[in-house]
Amino acid sequence: MKITKNRKILLNNFDAGKVYEPLEAIKILKEKSFVKFNETIDISINLGIDTNKTDQNIKGVINLPKGSGKKVKVAVIANQDKLDEARSNGADIVGSEDLIETISKSKIDFDILIATPDMMPKLGKVAKILGPKGLMPNPKLGTVTNEISKSVKDAKSGQVKFKNDKSGIVHAGVGKIDFSEEDLLENIKTFYSSVVKSKPETTKGSFIKKVTIASTMGIGLTINQASLR
């Protein structure tokens, strides 16, 4: 009940119609945090796209300059000569056909899967398991590569994947509430810029309709996107 009461207090001091400056919104989220765990700061960007048209859907990957604050478990599938490189650069799980066999039994204990190009044909047998979970390696996301060391380091240091949902909204975590206001702002600006750059050529009219940030247990604050450019 304590959380419910605090949430009521938060809602009573909340102006739903206001568009906040990014730094002001970050300060409010930090001040109004009432839980005992380190909340994630999430961003939601409403896009002016038609999600029924495949050429208007977007996806990408961005390295947040200040990291995500999230501990990411990285798995690498490669031939033996690349596995030592993966281990030495921080990969949590490494393997080749043996790891593919483990995945085929729906045993998945990782957040990101990186594979070398030569292993992709062998991954076909588990595509139906990895695909729905968003874990299938993709060259556009930097997870199909021979540059194993860079890919593992990027994944560990704050790499965030994004794609729009059926409602045309992009969601992502851009840091933790204990980050400094300046670091959160830099991450938000970097993420926003990456989404703007992914605008499909076939999209007409305004691409970014609204930008909202919220903490895990908090409420969404609409922010002035002009200040993010």
Q: What is the pLDDT of residues 17-53, one digit of tens each?
A: 799 999 999 999 998 888 889 999 999 999 999 999 9
Q: Which of 9-13, 132-136, 174-178, 200-204 has the lowest mean pLDDT?
A: 9-13
Q: Summarize pLDDT for 103-119 with one digit per residue, the tens.
A: 999 999 999 999 999 99
Rounded to an integer, what distance in angstroms lies between the CA atom of residue 131 and that of residue 67?
Answer: 26
Do 92 and 155 contact (CB within 8 A), yes or no? no
Tell me the CA distances in angstroms from 122 to 17, 94, 104, 126, one per residue in order: 52, 15, 11, 8
Residues whose CB is less than 8 angstroms from the CB of residue 8 and which lie 6 or more positions away in sequence, other chains included: none
> What pLDDT sits at residue 14?
65
Q: What tokens were used for 161?
A: 């994947």
Domain annotation for the chain: domains and CATH numbers:
16-68+159-228 (3.30.190.20), 74-157 (3.40.50.790)
Greater pLDDT, 24 or 8: 24
Tokens 């000569």 -> residue = 81
Q: How much is the average pLDDT of 49-74?
A: 92
**In this model, does residue 75 exceed pLDDT 80?**
yes
What single DSSP character describes residue 54? G
Evaluate if residue 148 carries a pLDDT over 60: yes
Q: What is the pLDDT of residue 16?
A: 67
pLDDT of residue 13 exceeding 70 = no
- Region 95-109: mean pLDDT is 94
The predicted-structure confidence for 151-202, as pLDDT tens digits, reads as follows 998 888 878 889 999 999 999 999 999 999 999 999 999 999 999 999 999 9
83, 121, 179 from 90: Cα distances, Å: 11, 25, 23
Instruction: Say whether pLDDT at 2 is over 60.
Output: no
Contact 45, 169 (CB under 8 A): yes
Closest C-alpha among 223, 229, 179 to residue 45: 223
3-state secondary structure of 206: coil
Q: What is the mean pLDDT of the chain?
A: 91
- pLDDT for the residue numbered 134: 87
Q: Output the pLDDT for position 33.
A: 85
pLDDT at 1 over 50: no
Confidence category of residue 142, pLDDT binned at 50, 70, 90:
confident
Q: How confident is the model at residue 12 (pLDDT cuts 50, 70, 90)?
A: low
